[in-house]
Amino acid sequence: MGMEQTWRWYGPSDPVTLADIRQAGATGIVTALHEVPIGEIWTEEAILERKRHIEWDDSVNPCKPRGLKWTVIESIPVHEDIKQGKPSRNAWIEKYKQSIRNAGKAGIPVVTYNWMPVVDWTRTNLEMELEDGAKALQFNMSEYIAFDLYILRRKNAEKGYTGEQIKAAKRTFESMSSERRYILQNNIIAGLPGGQEGYSIDDFRKRLEEYDVITPEVYRENLAYFLKQVVPVAIESGVRLAIHPDDPPISLFGLPRVVSTESDLQYIVNVVDSIYNGLCVCTGSLGVRPDNDLPGIVERLGDKINFLHLRSTQRSIDGSFHEASHLRGDVDMYNVIVAVLKEQKKRHAANRQDEAIPMRADHGHTILDDLEKKTNPGYSAIGLLRGMAELRGLELGIEKSGVVYK
């Protein structure tokens, strides 16, 4: 059995429609109730209403199935009080538990979440022009440091960088127009698709200061506390949790990051040893670090993988990177998918109900006539269609080669 092909959909206002997604060949939808405030309960009624909209076309009479199902929730955001271990965390955790129960009642099998503090996935440039004219997402290290030092003006920020990095960032900042500086600020703190929220500069500084006393060790302990509370509820509800890696998998703004390496992932799955305490393996996020052996991670932690984001990034020597096409860049996608299919073979032999791991092509390039349309950065229809087609073809080629069965 192949991987379950899914697509990230941002709800009824997404420029990519459910009909578009079905024509692209996906059968699973990955989405969230973005309108629910962070930390508040996702009611069973709201989940079922969105599920009905995904799975049935009520615009015709009689209504007809769309050929889609809501496979993965991405994401139910974790309230900052939980991450920081504040006294109020237990009340927020109880709400999170109820959201998991309601997802289970609605029959949605996977819930993704992340443990990134303050900022979600981060890029400095949403329209990096490639040689062929396509546009890609980029994290430029000098631009990021320039923002930190000269726009945000974070206290003691310079202590986290080398002299050469500071010089490069100053040159970058001085070369930027006021418009480019404004765009950079918005890209980092105004919130990208799927991110939890945007901030003003002052609010952002205040949020960062709340983490001044939280070490990576304490932050990891707070995650363990959260998991010990919610995983038993996930087990009872039949909902497999999947934590998304830090993106990028490095410390930003001096914040603790504890989901960046294989050892981080191993710690997480050891907190509660259950397939319901699982991973979302994002090859693009983890692949930014050259010390992350992606095929090895899939081989060693495969039984805990509940969701896959398949994309590739191209690293630069200074720590910058951009989104490469899905079969290029620094990710060994061939051996990643070989390892995934071998894991699915093991699950089949063990009669696991979650044999087909849901995957989605992640962060496509903006290409063709999508260049002239309003799209969610990284989620234009044609770019993701290309990525899905490439991954689908690679998977089929691997299956036909028989390498998985040797």
**Cα 81 to the center of its chain, rounded Å:** 21
Told to judge if 57 belongs to the known catalytic residues of this protein, a careful annotator would answer no
Phi, psi of 63 (to 5 degrees): -65, 155
Task: Quote the tokens at residue 294.
Answer: 């992606």
Query: DSSP 3-state assignment of 277?
Result: strand
Crossing angle of helices 294-301 and 262-271, in 10° steps, is 20
Residue 322 neighbours by CB distance under 10 Å = 19
Task: Quote the tokens at residue 35.
Answer: 């309108």
Told to judge if 53 belongs to the known catalytic residues of this protein, a careful annotator would answer no
Q: DSSP string spanning 190-254?
A: S--TT-S----HHHHHHHHHTTTT--HHHHHHHHHHHHHHHHHHHHHHT-EEEEEPPSSSS--TT
Positive/negative CA dihedral, 150, 152, 158, 162:
negative
The one catalytic residue in 113, 211, 219, 379 is: 379
The one catalytic residue in 79, 244, 326, 365 is: 244
Told to judge if 348 belongs to the known catalytic residues of this protein, a careful annotator would answer no
The one catalytic residue in 113, 282, 326, 365 is: 282
Please name the residues in contact with 190: beta carbons below 8 A apart, sequence gap of 6 or more: 198, 199
Phi, psi of 248 (to 5 degrees): -75, 160
Q: DSSP string spanning 295-312?
A: HHHHHHHGGGEEEEEE-E
Phi, psi of 36 (to 5 degrees): -80, 125
Query: DSSP 3-state assignment of 57?
Result: strand
Omega prior to 62 cis, within 30 of 0: yes
The one catalytic residue in 276, 363, 365, 370 is: 363
Told to judge if 365 belongs to the known catalytic residues of this protein, a careful annotator would answer no
The one catalytic residue in 309, 322, 326, 365 is: 309
Told to judge if 63 belongs to the known catalytic residues of this protein, a careful annotator would answer no
Question: Which class for 163: exposed (0-12), middle (13-18), buried (19 or more C-beta within 10 A)?
Answer: exposed
The one catalytic residue in 264, 362, 365, 370 is: 362
Q: DSSP string spanning 68-84?
A: -EEEEEE--PPPHHHHH
Contact of 251 with 123, CB cutoff 8 Å: no
Positive/negative CA dihedral, 355, 54, 385, 134:
negative
DSSP-derived secondary structure letter, 322: E
Told to judge if 20 belongs to the known catalytic residues of this protein, a careful annotator would answer no
Q: Which of 264, 271, 268 is nearest to 249 (CA)?
A: 264
Which positions are annotated as active-site residues?
244, 282, 309, 362-363, 379
